[in-house]
Structure 1
Amino acid sequence: MRWLPDPGERIEAPGEGSRAEIETWLRTVVDGVIAAPLHRGDSVLVEGPPGIGKSHLCRAVVAAARAGGSWVLSARAQERHRRVSFAVIHELVGPSEAADPAEIALERVDARCALGPVVCWVDDAHQADAASLRVLRRLVWAARDLPLMMLISARSYPRSEGVELLTGQVRCRVTLPAMDTVMVGGLVRRLTGRAPGPRLSAHLQGSGGNPLFATEMVNALEAGGLLDRAGAGTIELVGDPPPNTDGLAALVRGHLSQLDESVTELLGAMTVLGSGASLEDLGAMSYLSSASRWTAADRAVRSGLAVWSDVKSLDFSHELYREAAYAQLEEVDRVALHRRAAELLRDRGAPAAVVAEHLARSADDRVRGGAGQAELARALRSAAEESSAHAPAVTADLLGDLQIVVDGSEAGYDRLTVERATALQRSGQHQAAERLAEAQLAVSQDPQCRQELHELRIRSQLDRGETSAALDSIDRLLAGRLPPAAARQLRALRCWVTAMAGQWREAEQTATALLGESAAEERRQIESSVLTLLSCAAHLRGRSDQASVLIERQLQLLAGDDSGVRARRSALVWPPVFELAARGVGPAAEAVTRCREASADVGARWLDPYHCFVSASVAILAGEWDDASAELDAGLEMTEEIGSGWISTAIGQRAYLEAHRGRLTDARQRLRLFEERTLPLQFGADDPGWAELAVLEVTPALPEAVSLAHRLWAAAEEISPAWMLSLAPDVARVALTGGDLGLCERMASRLAGLDVSGCPAVAPVVDQLVGMCRADAELLTAAARAFEGYGVHLLATYAWEEAACVAARTSRPDLAREPLERAVSGYQHMGAIPDRDRVLGRVRRLGLRRGPRSKHRTVDFGPDSLTATELRVARLVRAGRTNPQIASQLWLSPRTVQTHVSHILAKLGLRSRADLTGVNLPD
C-alpha cells in the first residue's frame, strides 16, 4: 500500500502505446531525471512475458544514459541466488562486510546521487532475494527526493509477494507490447540482412510478436534449409516447416540440440553455476581441457546462446536459454553438477546459502537421509545464521527449507518453528507468522515453545492492529489453566490491547486492580507491564504532568532489566508526548532526542517509526511543517516495511498537512487508502476524520464540514479530554465560519468544565474557545500569547486569526492589524497558504484590508527560508557529512535526513548537495 502519494507534475506512461512510443516515453522519463533542474527522481517498472524484449529495451535506455555521462548502477537477479541475502544489492553497489548491508547500500547510493543523477537498473527482479527486494523498495521511495532513476524490469508472472510489494511502489508501470508486423520485419532484416517475403511474414505471426520467439523461429528455419534468398533483397519461406505445438521452449531445445557435445557440456555447467561464470570455474565443473573450453565458449557465443560478460566469464544471452539448457540436463548429470558446484563454491568461501542451494538440488534419493541430509541441514542452518542479523525475510525462507529437510517429529522441530515464525514477524510478514504458529500449536507438546508461539501470535495480531483477534487469543488462553503470575501478565497485556483499541478507561481500572492484587515480590514485574498504560491513561485524562512522572518510573524499572524486556516495550516512545502537553515544544523536542538515543542504546529499532511520528507531532505544533512532513514520510515508510497497523495518527497528520497546504488530491488519496485497510484508531482518536475535516474546509465544502464537525465532536466527548483539546480549534473554526455558533458554545462549555492544570501547554485552548464564543479579542490574544510562550505556534496562529476577526468587527479595526499580521505570518511560515487566504478573506469581508502585498512579503525561497533543522542539516552537508552521519549526530533517521536535504536543495534552487559549499547560510 502506498501511503505517500507522489507530488508534482510527471509524464504519464502510455496506457496502450506501441513499443516505439513506450521506448520514447521511457527515454523521456530518464532524461527528465538526468537533466531536471530540481533534486528529484522517478521509478518505472517494465514488465512483460519472457522474451518480449524488456532487457533489450532497458539496456538501450541505460546505455544512452551512460553515454550521456550519467552514473549507472545495474544488477541482474539470478534464480540461483534467491536465498542469498542482498545478492542483488551487492552486485548493484558492492559488498558490505560488517555493517547493515541495507544501510550501507542506501548510503552509497545517496553519496553517488550527491555528485549528480544516478540511473539504477535491476533486471529480472522477479528472481531477487527477499532482502534485496526490501532495499529496492526503499530506493524507489528515495527516488522521490534524490536525483535517482529506478528502473525495474521483471516478468509479469509468476511473482512472489515480495516482488509484488516492490512493483506496487513504483510510480509508473508499463507492459511491453508485442512487436507489430513492421517491427518483426525489421528484426528479420537485422538477422538476415533481407526483408521477409509474404510467406515468411505470415509464418512469423505465430511468434505472437515476441522478439525472442521470432528470432528462434528464423534460426530454426535457417537450420532446416527452409529459407530462400533468391529474391532481390528479400528472404522467403520455402517448403512446409514442421508444426511447433510447444512454442518457444521447443524452438530453444531445437537450437540446443544442434550444438556439439563440448558446447553442451559447457552450457550445462553454466546453467548450474549461474551468470558470470568464469572459464576457470567452468573447467572445474566439466571435463574439458583449457583449449577445449575456449573453443566451446567461442562456439556458444557465435550460436547466440551466450555472451561474454567480461574477458574470461560467460553468461547466457537470455534467461530462457539458461532455463531450457537446465531442463535438458539428464537427472544424473544435474545432480553431479550441483554436487560439484557445492564443493567448488564451499572451497571458494561462497555464502552458505549458495552452497545450500546446490546441495538441495543435488539431494536425489541416493543422498537423502543420513550424511547427505545432515550436510544439507548444516548448510541451511549456517545460511540462516548468516542472514539473521539484517535479512530476517531470507532467514525465514531458509528455515522453511530446513523444515522440509528435517523430520517433523525430531526433537528441536518445535524450536525451529519458533525461530522461523519469529523471523517472519521481524520481516513484517505477520500473517504468515501467525499461520505458522497456529499450525504448530495444533501438534506441539513442548510447553515452552507453546508459550512462545502463543505470545508470537498475539504480538503479530497486535502489530497488525487486529485488536479483536488479539483480545480473542488472550481470552482463550486465560480460559485455560495458567499459573497465577502468568495469568496476571496476560491480563496486563490485555489491558494494553484494550486501551489501544480505545477503551482506555476500562483498561486503566483493570490495570490498577492488577497492581493491588499482586504480591509484593511480583508487584515490580506487574508495574513494569502496566505503568506505560497508566501513564497514557493519565495523559488522555488531561494529566500529562502525572503521565510524565509515571513513565519515568516505568523507565527506571526497566533500566535494571537485562533480559531484553526494555527493548520490547514501547515506554521510550511516550515521554515526548507527555512533555509536549505538560511543558511545551522545547522540552518535548529535547525528550525526542533523548528517547531516540536510549532506543538505539538498547537495540529497540522497531520503535524508530514511532519516534518519527512523535517528533512530527512536536514539529506540527511548533509550526515547522516541513520538518513534520519529513518525519511522517520516513516513519510511514518504516511502518510499511514492518507491517504495522498503528498508523492512524500519522496518516491523519500527514493528510492534515497536505490539506492545509492545498494538496487536496494527495490528502484524499491518503485517506482513501487508509479507509480501505480498515485499520484501528489509536486510543479511539479519529485523526483521519480530523484530516477529512481539513479537506472539506479547504475545498471549501462548509455544509459538509459542519456536519462532520458535529460528528467528530460528539465522538471526542466520549473518547478523551486530550482528544477534545486537540480537535477543538479546528472544529470550532469550522462551526463559526459555517454559521453554527451553537456547536461552538457547546464545545466551550464542555471544555470549561475540564481540569486542564496538568497540560498547561495546550490549556489555552479553553480560553480560545470561550473567546471565540464571546467575541472577546483580549481573551483570544491572551490565549495566543500563552501558546507562544510554550512554543505551540500552530495553535497560537489559529488564536491570532480569531482575534483578528473579532477585532475587525469592532469599532477599532486598527486593533486587528497586529493579530492579522501574526496569523498571516504564521500560516506563511507553515506553508499553509489556504489558511492564509482564509483569514485574509474573513477580515476583508469585515471591511479590513491588509495593504500592498510587497510590504508583507515573506521569504519562501533562499537560505532565510530554511527551518532550524534544515539549517543544521545544511551545515553538516556543507561540512562533508553523509546522510547516515548526519542522522547519527542529530538523532534522526537517515530517511528523514534525506527528505530534509531534498527540501534544502529545492528551497535554495540547487541541483546537488555539492553545490551547498558556495551558499552563505544564516547564523
Structure 2
Amino acid sequence: MNVMVDSPVLVGRDAELARLAAAARAAVAGQGGAVLVVGESGIGKTTLLDAAAAHCRDLGMRVHRGAAEDLEQEIPFSTLAACLGIGPASPDPDLAPLSALLRGEDVFAHGVDAANHEYAIGEAVLGLADTWTAARPLALIVDDLQWADTATVRVLDRLADGLAAIPLLLVLAKRAVDRSGEVAAFWYCLLDRGAAQLRLDPLPADAVADQVTALVGAPPGPRLRQLLDGAAGNPLYVRELVTALRDEHAVHLTDGCAELGERAWGELPGSLVGVIGRRLDALPGPIRDALRTAAVLGGSVSEAELAKVLGSPPEEISAALGLAARGGLVTTGRRPRFRHALICEVLAAQVPATVRAALHVRGARVLAGRSASVTRVAEQLAQGGTVEPAMRDWLAGHARTLIARAPGLAVQLLRRALTAADPARTAELRLHLVRALLWHGELDAAEREARQALTAAPAADRAALYWLLAQSCYRQGRITDALAVVDTAVADPEVAEDRRGRLHGFAAVAKMFQVRIEDAAADARQALALGTATGDQHTLGLGELAMSAVTMMRGDVPGGLELARRAQSRLGHGVLPDLQVEPDATVAYCLIGLDRLAEADEALAVAADRNRRTGSVYLAFTHRLRAAVRFLDGRWDDALVEIQTGLESADPLREAGRLRGLAEVISVHRGGTAEVAAATVAEQPDAVYEGGDQSFTRWAYALTQEASVGPAEALRLLLPVWDQAGGIFPRRVVYRVCPDLARMAAACGAHARLVQLVAEVEQVGGAEPCHSLRATAQLCRAFATDDAELMRAAAASYAEAGWRLCEGYAHENAGVLLARAGQPGPARDEVDRALAIYELLDAAWDAGRAGARLREAGVRRGVKGRRGRPKHGWAALTDTEHRVALLVAEGMSNPEIAARMFLSRRTVQSHVSSILAKLQISSRVELAVVAARQDSAPG
C-alpha cells in the first residue's frame, strides 16, 4: 500500500477550532484576546495552529506565525523575530526600524544596559502592533512557547496587557510540562487576565479512525484498530506508526479497509519516541546521518551549510533531504525544517554527546566562514564546549555586535575563551568581557574583571577600562569609589587628553550628586579646557552640560539655559548614557524654570521620543518633566497620564518616587488620599527630611495634614523642603511649595516665619525675576501685610507664568483678604475666579477650602455651586482625550496619533484606555461609532 498523505491532518478538534474561530471573529470586530493551547508532544498543537492561521487569513487578518527554538533561548527576541519574519532578506519596510534595533545598531551610544535596550525593542514592537492593527486585524501565533527566550516573553506580556481594546488575536502553544520561570509565570498571568485555554486531550477512537482514513485513503480494519489503541489517541504517534507500517509493507487494503498484513509488528514499541526511533533506524545511512547532523545543529541550518559540515557534495545532501521530505520527516526548501520537534529531538539524542559537541564546533567554524549572523555562530559555539584559537579570533572581532545582541551569551563565551586564550588575545577579550558584564547588568562582576584587567592592560586599553570601572562603581551607588577611579585615570600618563576630558565631565556630574558644587565646577572647567585643547566636541559638550547644571544650582537659570543650548548643539541629540544628564531634557529643565512652558514641552517631546526609540536611561525622567509642565499649566489629567507612562517605563534613574509623589499631590488637591506619602513620612523618625528626592512626597503628606490636623503641623512637615533645599534641588527649583507655606504660616499665626519666608523668596528672585518667582514673592508679601491688591497682582503674575493652581490660590487669598476688609462683592468675584480655576483642575479640596474660608470671613456666595466635569460620557473627556478620540475614529494608529500630538505611544495608549473607560466601551471600533454619533448630533 503506497498511498500516504504527507502533511498532518486535523481531525477531532472541531470544538477547539470553533473556539479559535470565535476569538478571531471577535478580534476582527475590534475586541482582541488571547488563546492558549497546551498539550503533550504530538497531540496536534501545531496542526491546530495551522488551521487557525488559515482561518484568520480567510477573515482578512494579517497573520504572523513562528515557533521558538530550543537552541535560541539565549538570544533575546529570537522567537519574536521568527514570528514576525525578521531576517537579512526581510522585504517588509515596516520591520526595518525594529530589525536595526535587534541588530544593536548604535546601541552603546544611547542605552546604559541591555534592560533599557530591550525596553526600546519592546516599545518598537508595540508601536508596530498599533500600526498594523489600525490598518487591519492582526493575529500573532507562536508555537513551542516553552522554548521562548525571556525577552520575547516579556514583550508578549506587555502586548497582551491591552488586547481587549485592539483587533489583535494572540495564540500561544506550549507543551504540557510543569515548569517554573518566565514562561510559566506569563502563562498563568494570561489566564488571570481572562485568556481562553484549550487543553488538547487524546483523540477518541473514532477520530483516530478518521485520521487513518485521511492518511491512507481507507478506514482501519479491526486488527489495525487494535494496534492503534496503543497510540493513546496521540495524532503524531498514530501518524508515525502508520507511516512505519507502510514503510515495512505491513498494511494492505482488504474489503475497503486498511488492515495489518501477515508480517506486521508483533507488538507496538512502548512509546512515541520508540516508534519514531524504529522508523528512523530503517532509513538509509546517508539520509540518517544528514538528518542527525541537521537535528544537532538546529532548525535554521541550510542544505549548503549542512553539506559543508558533513564534508559531502551538496547534491548528495539535497537528494537525501528530498527523500526525507517525501517521507514526511522534513519540509522542502533551502532551509528544511523537521515537521515535528520530537523527530528532531529523537535524532539528536541518537548522537553521542562528544560527537554532538564536535559537530557544534565544526558548525560554528562553517557558519563563521560563510559570514552567517553573529548569533547563529555564537549558538553553535555555546553548544560546542570549547572555543578553539580560530574562533577566539572570530569572537574578539565580533564581540561588540554579540554583546549588543545577546549579552548573556557573550559573557558565557568570553569567559570560556579566556580560560585558554593566548596572552596576545587575553587583554582584548577581557576588555570585551568587562563591557559585556556591564551591559548585562552584572555590575560587581564587571568591577572585579576591570580591576584585574587594569593590572596588566596595554596602554591602548587603559582609558576604556578606567571608564568602565568608574561606571561599574557609579551604578552600584558607590560614587566615592567611582571618583577615586577617575582620579587614578586622569593621573595616568597613558590616558589621552580627550579621554581625560570626558572623565572630568563624568566627575563633575558625580560631584553634583554629592552636593559638591564648587568641586563639580572645577571638574567641568577642566573638561572645557581639555576639550578646547583637543578640539573634542564631545568633551566640550559634556563640560558645558555639567557647567549648565552647576550654574542652575547657583540660581542662574538663564545662564544654565545658554550653556545647555551650547552643549545641545555640540552633542546633537545624544550623549554618553553613563552620565545622568541629557541635552534636550536639560534645556527643558531650564525653560521650565523660566516659565517658558510651551517651549519646554516641545523640547521634552523630542527627548521622550528619542529616549523611547533608543532605550536611553532618561525616559522616565522626561515623562516626569512633562508631568511637571502639565501640573503647572493645569492639564492635570494629562499630567497623570504622563506619570503613569513614566512609571511603566524603564527607570534606572529611580524616578518612580518623584512620579508617585506628584501623583499624590494631585490626588490630595482633588480630595483624595496620599497613602504612599503617609507611609514614607511615617518611616522617618521625628519627621526627618531626606532631601529633594522626597519633596513631592513630603508636599502631598503636608497637604493631607493641613486638612486633618491643622496648618501648624502641615507647616512643620513642609518647611524642611524649603529650609533644607540645596544641591541638585536648590530653592530656585523648590520655590513652588512657597504659596502653600505662606498660607499655612498665615493660618497658624507663624508671622515671624512668614516674614522670613518673604525675604528668602525675594532674595531668590532678586537677580532674575521671572513671572512665577515675582508672583510667589508678591503672594508671600501680601500674606504678611494683608494686602489684597498685592495678592491680585500675584494672580496676574501667575497667569502670565501659566501656573494655574497658584493663580487660583492668589484669587482665593485675595477674596479672603477683601472679605476681611469688608468688601463682600469684590471678595465674591475673586473667589469665583479661584473656583473657576479649581473646577477646571477638578481640585475639589481647594474649592471646599476656598468656600469655607470665605464663609469664615463672613461672606456668602449665594446659590452658586461647583459643577465639575461628569465622570462618564463624551462630556467627561478632557481636551486631550477629545482630540485623541477623534483621531482614533479617523483610523489613526497610536504611533500616528503620538507623532501628530507630540506624545509617546504609551501616553496615547493610556489616553485611549481612559477614553474607553469614560465612555464605558471596550474597543476602538466602538469608539469610532460613538465619535460618529457625536459628529452627527444636532448643535
Residue identity opposite 1:584 in structure 2: R
**Secondary structure in structure 1 of the residue aligned to 2:468:** helix
With normalisation by structure 1, the TM-score equals: 0.68
Residue identity opposite 1:754 in structure 2: V
- How many percent identity over aligned positions? 21
Matched, 1:329 2:315: no
Match of 1:505 in 2: 517
Match of 1:729 in 2: 739
Choose the corresponding residue for 2:390, options 374, 383, 387: 374
Higher mean alpha-carbon deviation, 881-890 vs 615-624, is at 881-890
Distance 2:76 2:581 in 1: 29
Contact 1:417 1:440 in 2 (8 A): no
Match of 2:555 in 1: 542
Match of 2:544 in 1: 531
Matched, 1:114 2:134: yes
**Secondary structure in structure 1 of the residue aligned to 2:555:** coil
Match of 2:506 in 1: 493
Shift of 1:109: 0.9
Residue identity opposite 1:702 in structure 2: S
**Secondary structure in structure 2 of the residue aligned to 1:851:** coil
Shift of 1:136: 4.0
**Secondary structure in structure 1 of the residue aligned to 2:97:** coil
Shift of 1:488: 7.0
Distance 2:679 2:481 in 1: 24
Contact 1:690 1:727 in 2 (8 A): no
**Secondary structure in structure 2 of the residue aligned to 1:99:** helix
Q: Structure 1's 893 and 169: CA in aligned 2 closer, same or farther, altered over 3 A?
A: farther
Residue identity opposite 1:80 in structure 2: L
Residue identity opposite 2:700 in structure 1: A
Shift of 1:786: 1.0
**Secondary structure in structure 2 of the residue aligned to 1:758:** coil
Q: Structure 1's 779 and 589: CA in aligned 2 closer, same or farther, altered over 3 A?
A: same
**Secondary structure in structure 2 of the residue aligned to 1:498:** helix
Matched, 1:702 2:702: no
Shift of 1:451: 1.7
Q: Structure 1's 413 and 549: CA in aligned 2 closer, same or farther, altered over 3 A?
A: same
Shift of 1:694: 1.7
Q: Structure 1's 215 and 342: CA in aligned 2 closer, same or farther, altered over 3 A?
A: farther
Q: Structure 1's 191 and 595: CA in aligned 2 closer, same or farther, altered over 3 A?
A: same
Residue identity opposite 2:510 in structure 1: V
Distance 2:551 2:904 in 1: 30
Matched, 1:272 2:296: yes
Match of 1:552 in 2: 565
Distance 1:686 1:252 in 2: 66
Residue identity opposite 1:653 in structure 2: L
Q: Structure 1's 398 and 494: CA in aligned 2 closer, same or farther, altered over 3 A?
A: closer
Residue identity opposite 1:499 in structure 2: M
CA RMSD across the alignment? 6.3
Choose the corresponding residue for 1:653, options 653, 659, 662: 662
Q: Structure 1's 444 and 65: CA in aligned 2 closer, same or farther, altered over 3 A?
A: farther
Shift of 1:909: 6.4
Matched, 1:90 2:121: no
Match of 1:79 in 2: 70
With normalisation by structure 2, the TM-score equals: 0.67
Spell out the pairing of 1:157-168 with structure 2 (5 A cutoff): 159=181
Choose the corresponding residue for 2:464, options 432, 444, 452: 452
Distance 1:441 1:323 in 2: 42
Contact 1:581 1:761 in 2 (8 A): no
Match of 1:105 in 2: 125
Matched, 1:778 2:800: no
Distance 1:397 1:429 in 2: 13
Residue identity opposite 2:71 in structure 1: R
**How many residue pairs align between the two structures?**
809
Matched, 1:623 2:631: no
**Secondary structure in structure 2 of the residue aligned to 1:762:** helix
Match of 2:380 in 1: 358
Q: Structure 1's 80 and 35: CA in aligned 2 closer, same or farther, altered over 3 A?
A: closer
Q: Structure 1's 849 and 423: CA in aligned 2 closer, same or farther, altered over 3 A?
A: farther
Residue identity opposite 2:390 in structure 1: A
Residue identity opposite 2:85 in structure 1: G
Q: Structure 1's 708 and 500: CA in aligned 2 closer, same or farther, altered over 3 A?
A: farther
Q: Structure 1's 729 and 736: CA in aligned 2 closer, same or farther, altered over 3 A?
A: same
Residue identity opposite 1:570 in structure 2: E
Match of 1:236 in 2: none
Residue identity opposite 2:559 in structure 1: Q
**Secondary structure in structure 2 of the residue aligned to 1:114:** helix
Distance 2:341 2:619 in 1: 44
Residue identity opposite 2:486 in structure 1: I
Q: Structure 1's 759 and 133: CA in aligned 2 closer, same or farther, altered over 3 A?
A: farther
Shift of 1:817: 3.5
Distance 2:852 2:167 in 1: 40
- Alpha-carbon deviations, 1:304-339, whole Å to 9, x = none? xx9999xx9645477xx8667644532366357657
Matched, 1:912 2:924: yes
- Alpha-carbon deviations, 1:112-149, whole Å to 9, x = none? 44368867675665644465456446536666986768
Distance 1:357 1:405 in 2: 15
Could you list the runs of 5+ residues in structure 2 that have no partner in the other structure? 1-15, 100-120, 209-230, 242-269, 308-313
Match of 2:324 in 1: 293
Residue identity opposite 1:100 in structure 2: L
Match of 1:795 in 2: 806
Distance 1:50 1:507 in 2: 66
Distance 1:476 1:344 in 2: 45
Distance 1:387 1:293 in 2: 35
Distance 1:705 1:255 in 2: 82
Q: Structure 1's 349 and 516: CA in aligned 2 closer, same or farther, altered over 3 A?
A: closer
**Secondary structure in structure 2 of the residue aligned to 1:639:** coil
Shift of 1:408: 3.4
Matched, 1:578 2:581: no
Q: Structure 1's 565 and 834: CA in aligned 2 closer, same or farther, altered over 3 A?
A: closer
Shift of 1:452: 0.9
Residue identity opposite 1:758 in structure 2: E
Contact 1:139 1:150 in 2 (8 A): no
Distance 1:509 1:920 in 2: 59
Choose the corresponding residue for 1:690, options 696, 708, 717: 696
Q: Structure 1's 829 and 280: CA in aligned 2 closer, same or farther, altered over 3 A?
A: farther
Matched, 1:613 2:629: no
Contact 2:505 2:524 in 1 (8 A): no
Residue identity opposite 1:619 in structure 2: R
Distance 2:141 2:699 in 1: 42
Match of 2:768 in 1: 758
Shift of 1:575: 1.6
Higher mean alpha-carbon deviation, 268-277 vs 547-556, is at 268-277
Contact 1:73 1:92 in 2 (8 A): yes
Contact 1:381 1:399 in 2 (8 A): no
Higher mean alpha-carbon deviation, 591-600 vs 534-543, is at 591-600
**Secondary structure in structure 2 of the residue aligned to 1:616:** helix
- Alpha-carbon deviations, 1:466-512, whole Å to 9, x = none? 534433543555687787967676455323212124x1534456458
Residue identity opposite 1:114 in structure 2: A
Distance 1:610 1:123 in 2: 38
Shift of 1:706: 6.1
Shift of 1:94: 3.4
Choose the corresponding residue for 1:716, options 722, 731, 745: 722
Residue identity opposite 1:394 in structure 2: A
Residue identity opposite 2:720 in structure 1: A
Contact 1:515 1:523 in 2 (8 A): no
Could you list the runs of 5+ residues in structure 1 that have no partner in the other structure? 1-23, 194-212, 224-249, 301-305
Distance 2:476 2:55 in 1: 42
Shift of 1:867: 3.2
